[in-house]
Amino acid sequence: MEKKFSGRMRNILVSLLLALGIVAIIITSVLGSKQDETYKQGAGAFKDIQEKFAQRDYASAQKELEQLIASYPNSYLVQWQYGISLAGQQKYQEAAEWYEKARKQRPFLVRNQQYVLQYGEVLYHVQDYKRATRYLKEVEKLNQHPQFTEQAHVLLADIAEKEAKQ
């Protein structure tokens, strides 16, 4: 059973498909522009946060990060940065929770020497020496940045000294 389209019917069908294609392009363009704007705002906020970290203004950084968490609740980077802001204010227990959230969101973070060092240091401050030792020894194994490795050595020596006194 073969249907033949007349010239008029074919023209209507082509016109409808063309109109549908144009509408799809317009919708995609509008949605893309909104996504670009959201990205630009997030990037600007992230830059502000980095500047606040450089100035050691961790409380202000925390406030900005709370807004980013609302927009990007599953971003391991935002979670990690939030942990940094808390640690900078010596809220180590809360910071440890956010470092853990970031690690669960992005398990590969345990291969990032900076993250591992920071998390190990937070665990050191909450006196979870067993886990801190495990993370700080991982910093030594990764050995990507000598200054991080040296910081880990200092903390490991301090942990060993504290454990020897007990």
Residue 77: predicted pLDDT? 94
pTM: 0.75
* Highest mean pLDDT (candidates 44-58, 60-74, 83-97): 83-97
Q: What are the residue ranges spanned by the domains of the chain?
A: 11-105, 112-166
User: What does 87-147 look like in DSSP terms, one character per residue?
Assistant: HHTT-HHHHHHHHHHHHHH-GGGGG-HHHHHHHHHHHHHTT-HHHHHHHHHHHHHH-SSHH
pLDDT band at 39 (very low <50, low <70, confident <90, very high): low
Residue 41: predicted pLDDT? 65
Instruction: State which fold the 11-105 domain adopts.
Output: 1.25.40
Residue 18: predicted pLDDT? 87
Residue 40: predicted pLDDT? 62
Residue 24: predicted pLDDT? 84
